[in-house]
Amino acid sequence: MKYVLVTGGVVSGLGKGVTASSIGVLLKACGLRNCQYHPNTHFNLFGLDPYLNTDAGTMSPFEHGEVFVLDDGGEVDLDLGNYERFMDIKLTRDNNITTGKIYQASVGSVIDKERKGDYLGKTVQVVPHITDEIQDWIERVAMIPVDGKEGPVDVCVIELGGTIGDIESMPFIEALGQFSYRVGPGNFCLIHVSLVPVLNVVGEQALDDNVKGKLSQFCHVPEQNIITLYDVPNIWHIPLLLRDQKAHEAIFKVLNLQGTTKEPLLKEWTSRAEICDGLHEPVRIAMVGKYTGLSDAYLSILKALLHASVDLRKKLVIDWIPACDLEDATEKENPDAYKAAWKLLKGADGILVPGGFGNRGVQGKILAAKYAREHRIPYLGICLGMQVAVIEFARSVLNLRDANSTEFDPNTKNPCVIFMPEGSKTHMGGTMRLGSRRTYFQIKDCKSAKLFICGFNYVEIIISKASYVPQVYNITSAFIEQRCCRLAKPFALCVIRYGNRTFIDERHRHRYEVNPDMIARLENAGLSFTGKDETSQRMEIVELPNHPYFIGVQFHPEYKSRPGKPSPLFLGLIAAACGQLDTLIQGSGSQGNLSAKLGNGIAMEKVYQKGTTKPAKVLSDGLYSYCNGVQV
């Protein structure tokens, strides 16, 4: 087992997470040739966060950015989201170690062992007991593959959160120092990310040889091991910067892997980065939220929007709208902010209302949903965004003026959204409905089902010695070959059914749900709950059938979006905002060819939601092969 540790200095927020993720991408692209290693490198990644919290679940987005949710329900730092997106892997809560977990929060923690007498009367101390627990945790979990492949893990990348010198980090630094001796020479590589200010320069630039020479002299690091990560147009360039400066060669030299690897193959990354840089035709999405002053609070949503817009060859433009600025109170208190917010909302091609907690800005989110519904603007509501859409519909269509969520009005006579029975009102941490849950489609021809099932994300391919299947459920062999990684024959298409209903697995994080007692009234008035849980009592997806694109989901589809494999719902939002939704859905038919339908590189006129036409040039190499864990 080889370990790569990434630390940071000077200030927090330098980009250790992106650096660690990019190193993982680079090493994975190199592969390993020696018979001791598998042809495809197996990876594991760790995030070490020295704060005393058990996890990130109770932290304010203003203070720490978004809370990223894993399949097993772990609430973790946003850097683990970077790991999953860059490496296309699935991590677990054990891949995130906090001081709180080490001391007390987990079974087998230091305090738990002390209470059981496992230390045999010894004085329990930071060294060796805390440091040993950190090392044991890393060594134990590092052996578990997270890339879905069989075989032992070859490389484990570890990111130490915070800044070197922080008091809270000292036990982790000591533990990792001891760990480097535990695993032995040639098995541990330290990478330190720091800030080198360059005077009289706007932004960042590559360091010249003189600066590298001084750093090498005073830090005792070989000059060729000093890598410059300067400002780039998009973060997909970071693995390319590392490759161009031979970072992989320096790492393999420290890990004694020279001669066992190949040159990194990053054609897909290079193409994606260049395509993103060359996009010019904008699509404007209004983000109506509570934490719009800090974009990291919605990092996964931003990435999911970017994944979808790049796939549809559109330049993403986010219009940040504080939800409270849309409210009537702001019109009186700050008319300029009110006018500016509504101007942005009315100029958007699509509207997205993300999740959130607390009643600040809720009325503004309801107004945004109302505007999208009445003016037929593409709308995607996530978690709370779905709930406010239901509340707005009840108020406007059912004429229930006091319809509300019990989160905001416990005494409402028409509770559209209620507290979940299994939730806790006394403990905040880890008590929500968390992690991957199954949603069953109730209507096969609804937009969300078409995007998930009839779109490009619906197949799971199992390569086997079975005979070649030329046609399954009207999916032609040509379509399979074209969309599914050009798999070599023979292969079989595995199609899974659950009764007569199709289902998807998505990640959740919520305490409140749509009131099942109001479903019949809402559906009779025209709202369609197209996705439900296994009991059919918990609403997961809501749609307006006669609207161009009005979808609300209780889950968080942004957590599973990946570069090159965007979330279908985000893809649908961008496509609808550009007037391409029908083309996107129809492109998945039995003779589906999205490139042909969009023009094979020929400029076309696209009608946008605002009624304007914009020239669109669609690249002819837009072949998709999405396998995002969707079963049919």
Residue 66 falls in the annotated catalytic set: no
Which residues of the chain have a pLDDT value below 70?
32-43, 105-108, 200-204, 453-501, 587-632
| Full DSSP string of 264-332 | ---HHHHHHHHHHHT--SEEEEEEEES-TT-GGGGHHHHHHHHHHHHHTT-EEEEEEEEGGGGSHHHHH
- For position 10, what pLDDT does the model report? 83
- The set of residues, in sequence order, having a beta carbon less than 8 Å from that of 487 and lying 6+ positions away, is 461, 463, 480, 481
Residue 556 falls in the annotated catalytic set: yes
Q: How far apart are CA 543 and CA 551, in angstroms?
A: 5
Handedness of CA 405, 406, 410, 413 (dihedral sign): positive
pLDDT per position as a tens digit, 541-554:
999 999 999 999 99
- Chain-centroid distance of CA 438 in Å reads 18
pLDDT per position as a tens digit, 99-157:
989 987 555 688 888 888 888 888 989 999 999 999 999 999 998 888 877 777 888 99
- For position 497, what pLDDT does the model report? 40
- For position 28, what pLDDT does the model report? 87
Q: How far apart are CA 206 and CA 517, in angstroms?
A: 61
- The set of residues, in sequence order, having a beta carbon less than 8 Å from that of 542 and lying 6+ positions away, is 386, 389, 390, 514, 527, 528, 529, 530, 551, 552, 553
Q: How far apart are CA 225 and CA 247, in angstroms?
A: 7
Among 619, 602, 614, 608, which residue's Cα sits nearest to residue 576?
608
HSE-CB for 258 with a 13 A CA cutoff: 8
The catalytic position among 324, 383, 416, 454 is: 383
Token readout for 529 is 């709950």
Q: By the 8 A CB rule, do 583 and 606 touch? A: no
Q: How many residues does the chain have?
A: 632
- For position 41, what pLDDT does the model report? 52
The pTM (predicted TM-score) of the whole model is: 0.85
Residue 547 falls in the annotated catalytic set: no
- For position 618, what pLDDT does the model report? 32
pLDDT per position as a tens digit, 614-629:
433 332 222 222 223 3
| Full DSSP string of 166-218 | -GGGHHHHHHHHHHHHHH-TTSEEEEEE-----TT-SS--PPPHHHHHHHHHH
Q: What are phi and psi of 555, to 5 degrees?
A: -85, 180
The angle that helices 78-87 and 16-30 make with each other, rounded to 10 degrees, is 20
Instruction: Count other Cβ atoms within 10 Å, centred on residue 478.
Output: 14
